[in-house]
Amino acid sequence: MMTTNKLGLYLHVPFCARKCRYCDFLSFGCSDSKVLSEYSQALIREIRIRSKDWCFRDVDTVYIGGGTPSLMSAWDMGKIMDALRENFNIVKDAEITIEGNPATLSDEKMERYLRKGINRLSLGVQSFENDVLQYLGRIHNKNDAFTSFQRAKKAGFSNINMDIMFAIPGQSMKMWKDTVRQCIFLKPAHISLYSLQIEEGTEFYELYKDGKMEAVPEIQDREMYHQALAMMKEAGYKHYEISNAALPGFESRHNLKYWSYAEYLGLGLGASSFAGGSRFKNTSRMHEYLTAIREHVPPVDQESIENYSQREEMGIFVFTGLRKAEGFSLDHFHHVFRKDFFDVYDEDILKKYKGLLICADGRLYLSEHGMDVSNRIMAEFV
């Protein structure tokens, strides 16, 4: 089994000023600067511990996600970046991303990010409607989103992503189009668009379960999705992955690793990895994480270590590869697994999903409308 050589790093910061009503990520509401600083120190120690096994690999992408990494002080984030460069071989042109909430970004933070080599900023905007933001439980407002984007540009960021969300109860098509239009007006290099999912363990799930909230009908969800894609395409954005569009040359190199069967190492609480041919996760229990760090051992959850069969890895390769608009190369499949794709999978699947799943020019990919039923099609290969 073969993967591309360069490694990606993901760093997880599990703290937010307040937990959003829809969020099921591993994160906690906390704005205590002492707790944040202590966690940053633990993360630095983990960087040193893990680098012993991985310092020989070139690293060409770093993604600092959460939670809300921008909640950390500029000083602590600077020390984390210093530790990464001291312990890993970060290549000169590496893409280094940090996620930020518009209400937690200051000029000082953005200027320090750039000085320390962070060259991509991902803003969790979600909407340009204040009522929608309040309903979602976001801590920022529309003006915060505009201001943080303009200040990021002024600071020197040229590679900025904006996350926006659709299929929110009470969100009309007009409201959604206004959000897309305002996003396009600002011209971020990259736009991620997500359909609201009602997940267990969230406040929205409890409301849904109790009959106090209705999910947006699937047909409306899909109409919003295709409307946004059409508007983005007209504005010069390339739809390159199910939930992502970018100006030419600004595709997320780190996220492309997840969809292209490349290796990545996760650092921080609950972070996932695919490295050295294995899949594993750090413990998601803070006490266990901090104890392991104090004992100078990798904080890996031993029960999470998976060594899948070749057929299972093939399924993962196809499932993730089909997320990209261009799908995947059949030659790449053969290069990784030393088998021809249609010796493993029945070619009749192309007839079953005619016009939705397409094989052409040596690639397998989904049409735009195939993406509407992507989970059903992908499940055929898993």
Within the chain, residue ranges assigned H as helices are 33-54, 74-87, 107-115, 130-136, 142-155, 173-186, 203-209, 218-234, 253-259, 286-294, 310-321, 330-337, 341-344, 349-352, 374-379
Tokens representing 235? 């504005």
Q: Among candidates 94, 102, 89, 179, which has minimal Cα distance to 140? A: 102
The domain spans of the chain are 7-259, 310-379
CATH entry, 310-379, from 1.10.10, 1.20.120, 3.30.300, 1.10.3470: 1.10.10
CATH superfamily of 7-259: Aldolase class I (3.20.20.70)
Tokens representing 119? 């060259």
Tokens representing 68? 């809300």
pLDDT at 255: 97
Q: Give, for all 382 residues of the chain, the pLDDT tens digit.
A: 444 589 999 999 999 999 999 999 999 999 899 999 999 999 999 999 999 999 999 999 999 999 999 999 999 999 999 999 999 999 999 999 999 999 999 999 999 999 999 999 999 999 999 999 999 999 999 999 999 999 999 999 999 999 999 999 999 999 999 999 999 999 999 999 999 999 999 999 999 999 999 999 999 999 999 999 999 999 999 999 999 999 999 999 999 999 999 999 999 999 999 999 899 999 999 999 999 999 999 999 999 999 899 999 999 999 999 999 999 999 999 999 999 999 999 999 999 999 999 999 999 999 999 999 999 999 999 8
pLDDT at 1: 44
Number of CB atoms found within 10 A of residue 80's CB: 22
Long-range contacts of 250-255 (CB under 8 A, 24+ apart): 250/159, 250/189, 250/190, 251/190, 252/95, 252/97, 252/120, 252/161, 252/190, 253/60, 253/61, 253/95, 254/8, 254/10, 254/61, 254/62, 254/63, 254/95, 254/97, 255/63
Tokens 């209705």 appear where? 214
pLDDT at 3: 46
Q: What are phi and psi of 262, to 5 degrees?
A: -100, 165
Total-model pTM: 0.96
pLDDT at 124: 97
pLDDT at 382: 87
3-class DSSP state of 127: coil
pLDDT at 5: 80
C-alpha 63/C-alpha 10 separation (Å) is 5
